[in-house]
Amino acid sequence: MFSKKALTIKEQIEQLQQRGLHIPNNLLAEKYLSNISYYRLGEYWYVMQLDKEQHIFKPNSKFKDVIALYNFDAELRLLLFDVIEKIEISLRTKLIYHLSHEIDPWWFQNFELFNDSMALVKTLSNLQEELERSKDITIKNHFKNHKDDKRFPPAWKALEQTSFGALSKLYGNLKPTVRSKDIIAQELGAVNHTYLPSWLQSIAQIRNYCAHHSRLWNRNLPGTVKLLSKPPHLWITEEGNIPKQHEFSKLYVHLCLMKYLINVIQPKNNFTDRLDNLFTKYPNVDSDALGMKPDWTKEPLWQQQ
């Protein structure tokens, strides 16, 4: 039975100090712990512990390094959220445009176009909830002006209200016979529909971590991605820098895919500089925990500005 009692902030600091974490300024530590929970910060000092059972810290473990790690991770999430936003808007635009022209503006509720009917039912159910909650004047006016039309609003209205995760599921669930599925993949540099779904799935998962302020540093990411053997755009040339299958749980391979996509969507981008500057700003951050490769900035993929 769980028996631990809640500790006051002063008790939290005393406990950390007793376990070997160097905290020279108790008042400053109190300020941090009153705004960032002990449990949340614990995700960053966990790697500093020599004895994980007794929670004893390694020699020379410092509270300021915990805060630096936390701040690095927070800034990394903001950076990736910004990059993913551009990928999301591009995917949304291409889905709406190509499918609405190939099929019709209500393609997303046509069960004949999708592999998994149950998955589509769930996607449409979530979309309906989002539309009912929406305060968007376009959606409100649509329902007001088209009361007799029992369909969803057309794609260019309805799909502007849904999430990146839902968009990636819609794309992945399309049958391969739908021509637009390959067209969208080609336009995003993924050659065909075989590769893009796994990329979008992983990026959607990372977006959720960013949106919910969850740790990215030193996190094992779920799922795998399919890498192109001969990408049509700039990629990694050094064999040792190409992520191996067992490294797909680290963030690096997913960062590479984001960079690959953003290079196609927005050829003049500053992703490399912003990411590199982050590591410069926080020199004590262990980049191996993200799976970063040596000299990653020198790869053609990351050289494109």
Whether residue 96 lies inside any domain: the answer is yes
pLDDT at res. 244? 86
Lowest mean pLDDT among 62-71, 101-110, 216-225, 248-257: 216-225
- Averaged over 128-132, what is the pLDDT? 93
pLDDT at res. 4? 82
DSSP 223: S
Whether residue 4 lies inside any domain: the answer is no
Average pLDDT, the chain: 95
Three-class SS state of 51? strand
Cα–Cα separations (whole angstroms), residue 262 to 36, 212, 234: 33, 23, 12
Lowest mean pLDDT among 6-10, 12-16, 27-31, 221-225: 221-225
- If asked whether residues 88 and 37 sit together in one domain, one would say no
Whether residue 207 lies inside any domain: the answer is yes
Whether residue 3 lies inside any domain: the answer is no
Condensed to tens digits (0 to 9), the pLDDT of residues 53-98 reads 899 999 999 999 999 999 999 999 999 999 999 999 999 999 999 9
Q: Which of 135-149, 219-233, 252-266 has the largest mean confidence?
A: 252-266
- If asked whether residues 182 and 42 sit together in one domain, one would say no
Which neighbouring-strand residues pair with 56?
51
CA dihedral 89, 127, 153, 87 (to 10 degrees): 10
Whether residue 203 lies inside any domain: the answer is yes
Condensed to tens digits (0 to 9), the pLDDT of residues 241-264 reads 888 888 899 999 999 999 999 999
pLDDT at res. 239? 86
Cα–Cα separations (whole angstroms), residue 114 to 169, 213, 228, 240: 10, 33, 25, 39
pLDDT at res. 304? 78
- If asked whether residues 18 and 144 sit together in one domain, one would say no
- If asked whether residues 130 and 160 sit together in one domain, one would say yes
pLDDT at res. 84? 98
Domain count, the chain: 2
In this predicted structure, the answer to whether residue 223 has a pLDDT above a threshold of 80 is no
- If asked whether residues 264 and 161 sit together in one domain, one would say yes
In this predicted structure, the answer to whether residue 240 has a pLDDT above a threshold of 90 is no
- If asked whether residues 184 and 148 sit together in one domain, one would say yes
Whether residue 288 lies inside any domain: the answer is yes
- Averaged over 149-159, what is the pLDDT? 94
How many angstroms separate the CA atoms of 241 and 1, rounded?
47
Q: Where among 21, 42, 61 does a domain terminate?
A: 61
Whether residue 178 lies inside any domain: the answer is yes
pLDDT at res. 169? 96
- If asked whether residues 279 and 156 sit together in one domain, one would say yes
pLDDT at res. 42? 96
pLDDT at res. 2? 75
Six-digit token string for 161: 């209200």
Condensed to tens digits (0 to 9), the pLDDT of residues 158-206 reads 999 999 999 999 999 999 999 999 999 999 999 999 999 999 999 999 9
Six-digit token string for 100: 């609405």
pLDDT at res. 108? 98
- If asked whether residues 120 and 164 sit together in one domain, one would say yes
- If asked whether residues 31 and 119 sit together in one domain, one would say no
- If asked whether residues 142 and 281 sit together in one domain, one would say yes
Is the CB of residue 28 less than 8 Å from the CB of residue 68?
A: no
How many angstroms separate the CA atoms of 185 and 170, rounded?
14
Six-digit token string for 228: 């192109």
- If asked whether residues 146 and 290 sit together in one domain, one would say yes
Nearest to 183 by CA among 122, 269, 94, 61: 94
Whether residue 1 lies inside any domain: the answer is no
Domain that holds residue 37: 9-61
- If asked whether residues 109 and 195 sit together in one domain, one would say yes
Nearest to 249 by CA among 216, 209, 275, 207: 216
